[in-house]
Amino acid sequence: MPETIRPRQTKNKRYMLVRYGRMNTLGFFEHHETKISKTQARVVIKTDRGLELGYLVGQLTAYKGGQFKLSDEQIHDYFDESGIDFVPDHVGKFIRYACSADVSEERHLRKIAQEEMECCRNFVKKMSLPMKIVDVEHVFGGERIIFYFMSDGRVDFRELVKKVAQEYQTRIEMRQIGSRDEAKLLGDVESCGQQCCCQRFLKLLKPVNMRMAKMQKATLDPAKISGYCGRLKCCLRYEDETYTEGKKRLPKKNTKVKTEQGLGKVIDTQILTQLVVVEYENGDKAAVPLEEIELISSSETTKKKQDNPLQQNKQETEKK
């Protein structure tokens, strides 16, 4: 991400942060308002796609006299760490605050969009195209209709676009998406009881692997560690750094250690509680806090064996 990720605000230019579009993209929009609404507000904006309805972001703390006041460093840290999709340059202009008629028109367009999706699906079926229409977005200003589809490979949809364009007399756009994007568009409530993360705020869907699930000792049952998209849940990434750092502080298995109860070896560890399960020489086992553990070096172990010839002879007899 570039060092300066927001447009330079001159004396005569102000910008507001807006979430917009079916994919919930964030971007800065130029405006001329001297005051920003302190309540949740919908706004009408102009993008390269046409007129759109969006949500004003950060209205309680991010503005002063109409200026977006957060520093470049604050914005960079927030968006870089959260993985939220963010357009660093200003992407359009603020037109006005949305009124009830605008919101009503948006609801109307959503109903129309469902009809448009069914129409497109029928064309796909008749043309036997290897694609699945997942969702549709009818841009607020009516300048274009965007269809989101899934396919195993590339699809020649030029004829499909022509037919749909003739049907609705507007610009048609086809966007191929993956299973995680499908979840972002259609996802509902996850097993945690919250709305899918990818739908609420995530856009840059970073890789999630089985190592993260194993380290967090989550069940490896695919039905329980997979999200709406059928892949490993994105939330497994959230605590991965904490688990990784915690694991580095713990001794490895079979490491020789010393505690108040005596000498033993590590047979297991608990990352979050920072407990070490120790098996002592007499066969007893106990969970001991990390700060009460003293590691025994290999040289100390060798010296102990030399100081105890009876134990050494017993081990040599067992080997024979």
pLDDT digits (tens, 9 = 90+) for 163-204: 999 999 999 999 998 887 888 788 778 888 888 887 777 766
The helix/strand/coil state of 158 is helix
The DSSP string of 174-203 is EEE--HHHHHHHH--B-TTSSB-HHHHT--
- pTM of the predicted model, to two decimals? 0.66
Report the CATH fold assignment for 103-177: GMP Synthetase; Chain A, domain 3 (3.30.300)
Q: What dotted CATH number matches 250-309? A: 2.30.30.140
The total of other beta-carbon atoms located within 10 Å of residue 186's CB is 14
- What local confidence, expressed as pLDDT, does residue 303 receive? 52
Q: Which of 80, 26, 82, 32 is nearest to 55 (CA)?
A: 26
List every span in the chain annotated with CATH 3.30.300: 103-177
- What local confidence, expressed as pLDDT, does residue 218 receive? 64
- What local confidence, expressed as pLDDT, does residue 42 receive? 94
List every span in the chain annotated with CATH 2.30.30.140: 250-309
Digit-coded pLDDT (tens) for 137-162: 999 988 899 999 999 889 999 999 99
DSSP H helical ranges for 154-308: 158-168, 179-186, 197-200, 210-215, 222-225, 240-249, 298-307
- What local confidence, expressed as pLDDT, does residue 89 receive? 65
- What local confidence, expressed as pLDDT, does residue 158 receive? 93
Q: How far apart are CA 158 and CA 15, in angstroms?
A: 38
- What local confidence, expressed as pLDDT, does residue 101 receive? 94
- What local confidence, expressed as pLDDT, does residue 278 receive? 93
Q: Which residues of the chain have pLDDT under 70?
A: 1-12, 71-73, 75-89, 203-205, 218, 298-320
- What local confidence, expressed as pLDDT, does residue 5 receive? 46
- What local confidence, expressed as pLDDT, does residue 170 receive? 92
Please give the biggest Cα pair distance in the chain. 95
